[in-house]
Amino acid sequence: MRQEASKAELIRQAAVRVFSRKGFYKTRAEEIAQEAGVAVGTIYNYFANKEEILLSIFQTEFEERIELFRELLASDLSLPERIQRILEAHFALLKQRRGLA
């Protein structure tokens, strides 16, 4: 199961790089496969199409952010400090993951 999850993540990361270079509509599954170092058929073992890859990328990113935001909201900081930290974390993630911005 872990290998399957890591292969799906490898495909997602490759898709982010290719989408950021070429754009979603100009990207072909073959290019994602080449970037990920897998066969095209391997992509279809994990995702039905590139739209599903994109949705998986968004879902993964949103889940990570929601978890981070929940931790910050539950902290003992004042409300303005919590909001400030959430915004800082959000913009730091955008800067770190420019391909998703």
Tens-digit pLDDT profile for residues 66-77: 988 888 888 899
- 38 close to 15: Cβ distance less than 8 angstroms: no
Give the model's pLDDT for residue 96. 80
**Predicted confidence (pLDDT) at residue 90 exceeds the cutoff of 90:** no
Taking the C-alpha atoms of residue 61 and residue 33, their distance in angstroms, rounded to an integer, is 21
Residue entry with tokens 């730091």: 92
- 57 close to 66: Cβ distance less than 8 angstroms: no
Q: Which residues, including other chains, have CB under 8 Å from residue 47's CB and lie 6 or more apart?
A: 8, 11, 53, 56
All domains of the chain in start order, with CATH: 2-100 (1.10.357.10)
Q: Where are the beta strands (DSSP E) in the chain?
A: none
Tens-digit pLDDT profile for residues 7-40: 999 999 999 999 999 999 999 999 999 999 999 9
What is the three-class DSSP state of 81?
helix
